[in-house]
């Protein structure tokens, strides 16, 4: 056996591997140290400048946050609660959300936090939500379209629309469209998108997106959010509309996406490995908070924000020119609800 190895042409590789393994314990600590140093800088880069708007008083301002029961939506709600805003937690899970509301009420002393049921993939429910909102409130100052899901395998809602697209895009389109006439003067709409929208290379076929024909739909929904932002920013007169990428954050998003144990495990390991580079949930909420609290005249209408600063859309967006097409398509698909 040993003789075989020594005589084979792989002998040098084999020997050098042995030597490498033998000395590994000398430089392993160095490697680990280097990893953490690099990770630290990646983390700082992802996070961007620190912004604090502790003085801004949102007393009397009405804010809707979709998906405020978990992740960065919850942290956004917490900060805006500190700033005295009236917040509508537009969420699907009543028990879970009430718990979150009570926690934030206790912590901040803000009693103007309300739960209102919103199930984004159910368009009748979205309509009900808006009706209910308009009965209770006369104006809307900040709308934060934050809720979102990712799925490894396609599922479909009651209307047979692919579930990620229905939740992340169509539900939010309907919500925003129906709330447009409630927006107050100097109001804002903040659309939580993702850097994933930048994967776009050629025109999307929206019918294929709707029917789940693309291998991946999450990126497509984030692209659509960006297109919606551009359209709204052009037609709304006293409302500014922005889209943003929050960073890479360990939230519940991927835990809910995988339905096999193996995938869940791989995901957990990857996140554990990259944890030093990813943002905390609090840090992940910062870009949204920045857009919600920065002085109105500084916010760029139609702008794209990331790392707590103004950034740029993927260049393809202008070239592909699908803003109007998506707007028409969305009205067409949801015409019976509008």
142 contacts 63 by C-beta, under 8 angstroms: yes
The tokens of 184 are what?
Answer: 């107050």
- Count Cβ atoms within 10 A of the Cβ of residue 21 and give its class: 0-12 exposed, 13-18 middle, 19 or more buried: exposed
Interface size with ligand NAG, residues (CB under 6 A): 13
Site string for ligand NAP, 239-278 (x = CB under 6 A): ------xx-xx-xxx--x----------------------
Site string for ligand NAP, 174-213 (x = CB under 6 A): ------------------x-x-------------------
Residue 310 interacting with ligand NAP (CB under 6 A):
no
The only residue of 129, 223, 304, 305 in contact with ligand NAG, by rule CB under 6 A? 223
The only residue of 62, 85, 91, 174 in contact with ligand NAP, by rule CB under 6 A? 91
- Please, what is the minimum distance in Å from the beta carbon of residue 39 to ligand NAP? 16
Question: Which positions ≥6 away from 271 have C-beta within 8 Å?
Answer: 250, 254, 278
Shorter beta-carbon distance to ligand NAP: residue 8 or 259 = 259
Q: How far apart are CA 74 and CA 43, in angstroms?
A: 21
Q: How far apart are CA 221 and CA 282, in angstroms?
A: 24
φ, ψ dihedrals at 259, nearest 5°: -110, 10
Q: How far apart are CA 121 and CA 118, in angstroms?
A: 9
Q: Name beta bridge partners: 145.
A: 191
Among ligand NAG, ligand NAP, none, what binds residue 214 when CB lies within 5 to 8 Å by partner kind?
A: ligand NAG
Q: How far apart are CA 170 and CA 220, in angstroms?
A: 12
Q: How far apart are CA 205 and CA 228, in angstroms?
A: 16
- Please, what is the minimum distance in Å from the beta carbon of residue 110 to ligand NAG? 8
Contacts to ligand NAP by CB under 6 A: 66-67, 69-73, 91-93, 96, 118-121, 146-149, 167, 192, 194, 245-246, 248-249, 251-253, 256
Contacts to ligand NAG by CB under 6 A: 57, 83-84, 197, 199-201, 214-216, 219-220, 223
């Amino acid at each position: 056996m040993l003789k075989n190895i020594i005589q084979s042409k792989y002998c040098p590789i084999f020997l050098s591997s042995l030597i490498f393994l033998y000395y590994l314990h000398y430089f392993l600590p160095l490697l680990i140290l280097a990893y953490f140093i690099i990770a630290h800088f990646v983390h700082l880069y992802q996070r961007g400048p620190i912004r604090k708007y502790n003085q801004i008083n949102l007393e009397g301002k009405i804010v809707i946050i979709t998906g405020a029961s978990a992740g960065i939506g919850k942290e956004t709600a917490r900060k805006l609660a500190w700033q005295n805003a009236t917040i509508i937690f537009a969420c699907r899970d009543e028990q879970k959300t009430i718990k979150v509301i009570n926690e934030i009420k206790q912590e901040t002393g803000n009693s103007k936090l309300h739960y209102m049921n919103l199930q984004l993939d159910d368009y009748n429910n979205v309509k009900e939500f808006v009706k209910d909102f308009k009965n209770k409130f006369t104006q809307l100052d900040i709308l934060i379209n934050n809720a979102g899901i990712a799925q490894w395998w396609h599922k479909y809602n009651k209307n047979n629309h692919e579930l990620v697209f229905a939740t992340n895009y169509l539900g939010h389109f309907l919500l925003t469209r129906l709330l447009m006439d409630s927006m107050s003067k100097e109001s804002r709409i903040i659309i939580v998108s993702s850097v994933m929208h930048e994967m776009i290379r050629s025109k999307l076929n929206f019918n294929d997106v709707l029917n789940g024909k693309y291998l991946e739909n999450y990126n497509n929904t984030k692209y659509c959010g960006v297109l919606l932002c551009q359209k709204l920013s052009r037609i709304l007169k006293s409302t500014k509309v922005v889209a943003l990428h929050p960073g890479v954050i360990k939230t519940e998003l991927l835990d809910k996406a995988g339905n096999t144990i193996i995938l869940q495990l791989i995901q957990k390991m990857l996140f554990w490995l990259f944890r030093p580079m990813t943002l905390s949930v609090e840090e992940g909420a910062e870009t949204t908070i920045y857009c919600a609290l920065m002085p109105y005249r500084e916010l760029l209408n139609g702008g794209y924000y990331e790392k707590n600063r103004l950034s740029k859309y993927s260049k393809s967006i202008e070239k592909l020119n699908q803003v109007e097409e998506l707007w028409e398509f969305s009205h067409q698909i949801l015409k019976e609800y509008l």
